[in-house]
Amino acid sequence: MNASTLAELAIGGRAKITGFTLESGTRQRLMEMGLTKGAECQMVRFAPLGDPLEIKVRGYHLSLRKSEAQGIQVQTL
């Protein structure tokens, strides 16, 4: 499966960030946390009810709301 957003990535799946469809404030906050174009990330796990989700990016683990992850476009690796 070739995920188009970070929220669609399967557990253990790896992807490269290709763009954003988020409002500028949210996009800026995520970019400050290391989610920039070209950054590689890996899906670690989902919370029991599916929100939030945990990814590994730039050597650390980051929890994101599913709504934020849906606004991050990726290309699977």
C-alpha 52/C-alpha 65 separation (Å) is: 5
pLDDT above 60 (res 70):
yes
DSSP-assigned states of every residue in 44-65 = EEE-TTS-SEEEEETTEEEEE-
- Domain 6-76: CATH superfamily is Ferrous iron transport protein A (FeoA) (2.30.30.90)
SS3 state at 28: helix
- Stated pTM of the model: 0.88
Task: State the average pLDDT over residues 58-72.
Answer: 93
pLDDT (tens digit per residue) in 5-47:
999 999 999 999 999 999 999 999 999 999 999 999 999 999 9
Q: What's residue 49's pLDDT?
A: 87
